[in-house]
């Protein structure tokens, strides 16, 4: 039993507040602890008043053989058992400062000899004790108390006791606030540090554990031993185990180390067909008086007289442009080595078949081509390989790769950059035949060569650029071709097609005569402006068109203008031409119109005015 004075009851109340604050440091709130431990024993001070000895180091300690004098103090009728009959708190495992994982509650078994009190003093003590146990600070019988907030832990056990390491807090902020709670002793601070480490572990991504528990990349065995934590039996170091039948949080075994996983590079096939890029600058070029490079006379015969060996060319390519291997695993195939003026429909078919053959084995393709007829080849590949759904980037150069001021190096790097753009940020998937030249990426069947000497030799006058390449690659993604439908390769072309410009004053009956009779099957007629041509009979254009279309010549009407709409119906001549069967669909480049006419002659089910690969 306890002998108390009014002053001791005040000490008890203050001590109870301290114990309430210590509950926020990571130790367990208990309705049987906090207030009760300060009421268990009290010793008499020199002035005859009772004082608490549980927290006063100056209190004299009596020997164990000294008989103890106690006085019974009646408790308020709250249903709580008498204080002296409550069981002593069990020894708990906490993260102590010594690192052994054990700490003890403050001792409540100190025996002191208290002098006998007078009746008046005893009466005052009893009144004070009764007021304490029945007042606002009384030890209530309910299972909840107003304690300092504790970092919430999700457990299925009715008590928040955590075995092994502290259970992960729901947030690092809660762990930090609890560690800073007033009145926290050494064991409480260590437990707070444990809660902070657990909160950090809880913030890491969780992965599925084979046992059904969530796992997290938490601290290692060495960290657990350094913190002085005692793990459960059978639990490895770095394992968080919550008491009770609730779920447990398990850390990945061993120290958390970062692993670098090498992502495989895409495979890119370079197809070489000839052109300036592969020429020998010493044999094919010479300097004029102004020290400018000029194509040597007969350079085509000199540069293309021998067969290129793919191994040697690839070795030279990667030696001169070693950065190519940072983008992809590069292979090279030499299909042929021709001046592009000698490349025609049969070569287009050969290129298309090579691309079709290698399509399952490579992620992207770069076709090296001469500049003179590159626009024709690009248009042909886009039509023959409809729905290819992989990048086919065509490029070349105005100077040989080995020339000092060549543009070939940058064109090759730009081409492989856009060809592999789906495999690196911003992950743009190019799914069409495109021309990459002079820092611009253009749709292949909309491209034209517009300059014979400038590095920016090509332009797309009827369609926006797909991307521009400078310090950054600026993609124009809304203009990329969205491929729909299945891949449909077609490898047949009818090369019996010519381009005819309408020239003022010329009579086609005399200039061209019976084209159909000479074996021509298609004509790309390049009219004025929006599609106008002379409508007077004396000029001969309308009578000639009427005769040739009646025999079976297929005519595609285009404009001599580089850009702008095609509207032949505005004028009388255009209306009459349309009535004769002249096809005057949306604008195509002259190069694409000629190739598509070759394509449609071999595939009568395909109409000139129906888009196949974004050419209209």
Residue 323 DSSP class:
T
Angle, nearest 10°, between helix axes 119-134 and 6-22? 30
What is the chain's alpha carbon radius of gyration, rounded to the nearest angstrom?
A: 46
* ∠ CA 81-83-87, rounded to 5°: 85
Residue 182 DSSP class:
T
Expressed in angstroms, the distance from the first to the final Cα of the chain is 102
Residue 99, token pair as written in the block? 């690192």
Catalytic residue flag (residue 194) = no
| 204 close to 183: Cβ distance less than 8 angstroms | no
371, 377, 395, 417: which is the annotated catalytic residue? 371
CA 274 to chain centre: 39
Catalytic residue flag (residue 108) = no
| 348 close to 380: Cβ distance less than 8 angstroms | yes
53, 184, 273, 276: which is the annotated catalytic residue? 276
β pairing state of 392-395 and 433-437: parallel
Binding site annotation covers 77? no
Binding site annotation covers 209? no
Q: What is the rounded distance in angstroms from the CA atom of residue 398 to the CA atom of residue 457?
A: 8
Q: What is the rounded distance in angstroms from the CA atom of residue 176 to the CA atom of residue 153?
A: 15
CA 418 to chain centre: 18
Q: What is the rounded distance in angstroms from the CA atom of residue 349 to the CA atom of residue 455?
A: 28
Of 166, 168, 247, nearest to 204 by C-alpha is: 168
Of 613, 354, 356, 353, nearest to 485 by C-alpha is: 613
Binding site annotation covers 447? no
SS3 state at 102: strand
Helix (H) or strand (E) holding 206: strand 206-208
Hunting for tokens 């709580």 — which residue is that?
Answer: 80
Q: What is the rounded distance in angstroms from the CA atom of residue 47 to the CA atom of residue 130?
A: 23
**How is the chain split among helix, strand and coil, in percent rounded to 5?**
30, 15, 50
Q: Which residues contact 205 (CB under 8 A, 6 or more apart)?
A: 216, 217
Q: What is the rounded distance in angstroms from the CA atom of residue 49 to the CA atom of residue 492?
A: 115
Residue 191, token pair as written in the block? 């437990």
Binding residues: 340, 371-372
Among all residues, which ones are annotated catalytic? 276, 371
Pick out the residues of the known binding site for substrate.
340, 371-372
């Amino acid at each position: 039993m306890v002998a108390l004075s009014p002053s001791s009851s005040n000490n008890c109340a203050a001590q109870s507040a301290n114990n309430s604050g210590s509950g926020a440091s990571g130790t367990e709130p208990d309705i049987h602890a906090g207030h009760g431990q300060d009421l268990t024993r009290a010793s008499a001070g020199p002035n005859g008043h009772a004082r608490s000895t549980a927290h006063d180091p100056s209190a004299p300690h009596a020997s164990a053989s000294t008989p103890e004098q106690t006085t019974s103090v009646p408790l308020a009728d709250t249903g709580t058992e008498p204080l002296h009959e409550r069981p002593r708190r069990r020894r708990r495992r906490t993260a102590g400062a010594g690192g052994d994982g054990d700490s003890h509650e403050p001792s409540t078994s100190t025996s002191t000899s208290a002098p006998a009190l007078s009746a008046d003093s005893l009466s005052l003590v009893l009144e004070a004790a009764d007021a304490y146990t029945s007042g606002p600070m009384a030890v209530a019988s309910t299972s909840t108390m107003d304690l300092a907030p504790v970092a919430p832990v999700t457990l299925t056990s009715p008590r928040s006791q955590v075995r092994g390491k502290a259970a992960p807090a729901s947030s690092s902020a809660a762990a930090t606030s609890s560690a800073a709670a007033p009145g926290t002793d050494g064991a409480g601070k260590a437990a707070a540090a444990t809660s902070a480490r657990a909160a950090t572990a809880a913030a890491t991504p969780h992965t599925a554990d084979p046992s059904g528990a969530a796992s997290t990349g938490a601290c290692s065995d060495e960290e657990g031993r350094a913190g002085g934590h005692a793990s459960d039996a059978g639990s490895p170091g770095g394992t968080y185990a919550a008491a009770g039948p609730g779920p447990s949080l398990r850390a990945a075994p061993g120290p958390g180390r970062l692993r670098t996983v090498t992502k495989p590079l895409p495979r890119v096939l370079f197809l070489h067909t000839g052109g300036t890029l592969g020429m020998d600058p010493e044999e094919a070029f010479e300097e004029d008086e102004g020290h400018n490079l000029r194509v040597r006379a007969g350079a085509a015969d000199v540069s293309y007289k021998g067969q290129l060996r793919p191994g040697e060319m690839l070795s030279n390519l990667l030696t001169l442009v070693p950065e190519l291997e940072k983008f992809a695993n590069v292979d090279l195939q030499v299909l042929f080595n021709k001046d592009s003026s000698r490349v025609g429909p049969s070569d287009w078919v050969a290129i298309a078949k090579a691309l079709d053959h290698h399509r399952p084995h490579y992620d992207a393709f770069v076709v090296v081509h001469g500049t003179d007829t590159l626009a024709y080849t690009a248009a042909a590949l886009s039509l023959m390989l409809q729905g290819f759904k992989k990048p086919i980037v065509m490029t070349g150069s105005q100077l040989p790769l080995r020339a000092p001021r060549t543009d070939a190096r940058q064109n090759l790097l730009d081409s492989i950059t856009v060809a592999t753009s789906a495999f690196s940020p911003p992950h743009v998937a190019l799914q069409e035949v495109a021309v990459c030249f002079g820092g611009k990426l253009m749709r292949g069947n909309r491209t034209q060569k517009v300059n014979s000497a400038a590095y920016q030799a090509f332009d797309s006058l009827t369609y926006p650029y797909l991307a521009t390449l400078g310090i950054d690659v600026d993609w124009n993604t809304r203009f990329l071709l969205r491929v729909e439908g299945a891949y449909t390769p077609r490898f047949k072309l009818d090369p019996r097609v010519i381009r005819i410009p309408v020239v003022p004053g010329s009579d086609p009956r005399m200039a061209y005569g019976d084209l159909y009779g000479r074996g021509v099957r298609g004509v790309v007629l390049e009219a004025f402006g929006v599609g106008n041509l002379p409508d007077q009979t004396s000029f001969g254009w309308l009578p000639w068109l009427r005769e040739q279309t009646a025999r079976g010549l297929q005519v595609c009407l285009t404009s001599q203008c580089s850009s702008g709409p095609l509207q032949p119906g505005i004028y009388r001549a255009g209306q009459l031409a349309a009535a004769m069967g002249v096809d005057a669909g949306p604008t195509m480049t002259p190069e694409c119109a000629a190739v598509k006419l070759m394509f449609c002659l071999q595939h009568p089910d395909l109409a000139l005015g129906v888009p196949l690969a974004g050419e209209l």
